[in-house]
Amino acid sequence: GEDVEQSLFLSVREGDSSVINCTYTDSSSTYLYWYKQEPGAGLQLLTYIFSNMDMKQDQRLTVLLNKKDKHLSLRIADTQTGDSAIYFCAEIGSNTDKLIFGTGTRLQVFP
């Protein structure tokens, strides 16, 4: 079945760049998503990328997709303390309504 994996923790200094990585197994994935979850809250959609794209940039966020290796990354430039949260990647295959989520990466930003 489909599987999505992420590292559990990432700690960065304020102002540095953060890179959160994700690998997935479903080769039929059409869209891949990044969600942010702040403490005690629901998930907020940050950005997404279509599988025929290699890169998408949205302000401080850059998504890179290596479809051959089934590897997705989220780069946050100039990381701020407000970026501290859990980040989930998720993928959806063709002809399905179900997102498969990774385990989430807890990003901690220290001054």
When the beta carbons of 5 and 78 are compared against other proteins, the nearer one is 5
Name the segment binding other proteins (CB under 8 A); options: 17-25, 29-37, 52-60, 69-77: 29-37
Smallest separation (angstroms) from other proteins to the CB of 46? 10
DSSP of the chain: ---EEE-SEEEEETTS-EEEEEEE--TT--EEEEEEE-TTS-EEEEEEEETT-SEEEETTEEEEEETTTTEEEEEESS--GGG-EEEEEEEE-TT----EE---EEEEEE-
When the beta carbons of 19 and 45 are compared against other proteins, the nearer one is 45
Judged by CB under 8 A, which of 66, 80, 81, 103 binds other proteins?
Answer: 103
Smallest separation (angstroms) from other proteins to the CB of 33? 6
The contacts of residue 85 (CB under 8 Å, 6+ apart) are 36, 37, 38, 39, 106, 107
> Judged by CB under 8 A, does residue 67 bind other proteins?
no
- Rg of the chain, C-alpha, whole Å: 13
Tell which positions 69-98 bind other proteins, by CB under 8 A.
88, 90, 92, 94-98
Kindly list the residues in this chain that would bind other proteins in the complex (CB under 8 A).
30-31, 33, 35, 40-45, 48, 88, 90, 92, 94-99, 101-104
